[in-house]
């Protein structure tokens, strides 16, 4: 599965709603986003960026901003010095407030190697032009997305006049089962899926 349309269709199959009469694209997309957030916790998409230091303010290293949703995991200088830092986003750019290292801090113009955790994407969802979830994890993610979509529908059922309480209870129970299955599978695959994609280096 590579596109959001394929993910939606698989979710509908799991939900037993092949015609999409009960689950709209917007509900499915909300479920897929929630599943992606959980997936990120267990299977971070790690990438390596080369970043030039644009400024130094005391023990704060100032860099160009990273793509939205990305956070720095590790940082080291070209000479191999590892930095210990707290990350901040400010008007100046990306700031690493350093509180220690195994050597001297970098200076303006130095190049750092950053290991970064970036959000996973599905082509066509929120304007993404590629899918980063490995094919062997797609069905697992759809199981979780179906559960989250069912949970969203269970909430909406309670707001519709005339719906029976047992409708919501049945939906909630099925949603919890699917989400539980998804979470357990993520935990079981955590070590194998920790770095499922080849890394690349991107100058910024």
Helices and strands (DSSP H and E) totals, the chain: 5, 8
The residue segments making up the domain with residue 129 are 4-43+124-195
Q: Examine the fold and report which residue of 89, 118, 147 is the final residue of a domain before the chain moves on.
A: 118
Q: What is the DSSP pairing of strand 71-77 with strand 45-52? A: unpaired
For 25, the token pair is 């694209």
| Token pair belonging to 126 | 């929120």
Determine contact, residues 37/83, Cβ cutoff 8 Å.
no
Strand ranges across the sheet with 111-118: 71-77, 111-118, 45-52, 201-203
Q: Is residue 153 over pLDDT 50? A: yes
Nearest to 185 by CA among 119, 118, 139: 139
Q: Across-strand partners of 116? A: 47, 72
> Which of 66, 85, 118 finishes a domain?
118
User: What's the pTM?
Assistant: 0.76
Tell which of 118, 145, 166 closes a domain.
118
Tell me whether residue 203 is in a domain: no
Residues 69, 82 share a domain? yes
137 versus 164: which is more confidently predicted? 137
Same domain, 38 and 139: yes
Cα 14 to Cα 144: distance, rounded to the nearest angstrom: 10
Contact indicator for 4, 32 with CB cutoff of 8 Å: yes
- Per the domain annotation, does 137 fall within a domain? yes
CA distance readout (Å), 71 to 14, 25, 86, 159: 33, 30, 11, 38
Query: Which residue would you say has higher pLDDT here, 130 or 191?
Result: 130
Query: Are residues 131 and 176 both part of a single domain?
Result: yes
pLDDT over threshold 50, residue 196: no
Do 53 and 35 have their domain in common?
no
Contact at 8 Å (CB) between 116 and 71?
yes
Per the prediction, the chain carries an average pLDDT of 87
Q: Is 203 helix (H, G, I), strand (E, B) or coil?
A: strand
Average pLDDT score over residue span 129-150:
95
Same domain (yes/no): 114, 62 = yes
Determine how β-strand 60-63 pairs with β-strand 55-57. Answer: antiparallel
Helix (H) or strand (E) holding 142: helix 135-157
pLDDT-derived band at 198 (thresholds 50, 70, 90) equals very low
């Amino acid at each position: 599965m590579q596109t959001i349309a394929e993910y939606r269709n698989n979710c509908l199959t799991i939900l037993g709603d092949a015609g999409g009469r009960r689950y709209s694209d917007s509900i499915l997309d909300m479920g897929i986003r929630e599943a992606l957030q959980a997936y990120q916790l267990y299977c971070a998409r790690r990438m390596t960026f080369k970043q030039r230091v644009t400024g130094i303010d005391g023990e704060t290293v100032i860099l160009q901003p990273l793509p939205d949703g990305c956070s720095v995991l590790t940082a080291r200088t070209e000479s191999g010095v590892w930095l210990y830092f707290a990350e901040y986003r400010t008007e100046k750019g990306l700031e690493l407030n350093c509180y220690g290292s195994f050597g001297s801090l970098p200076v303006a113009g130095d190049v750092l190697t950053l290991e970064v955790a970036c959000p996973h994407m599905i082509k066509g969802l929120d304007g993404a032009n590629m899918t980063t979830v490995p094919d062997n994890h797609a069905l697992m993610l759809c199981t979780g997305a179906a559960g989250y979509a069912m949970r969203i529908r269970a909430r909406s059922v309670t707001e519709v006049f005339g719906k029976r309480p047992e409708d919501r209870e049945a939906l909630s129970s099925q949603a919890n089962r699917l989400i539980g299955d998804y979470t357990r599978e993520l935990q079981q695959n955590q070590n194998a899926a920790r770095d499922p994609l080849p890394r690349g280096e991107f100058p910024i």
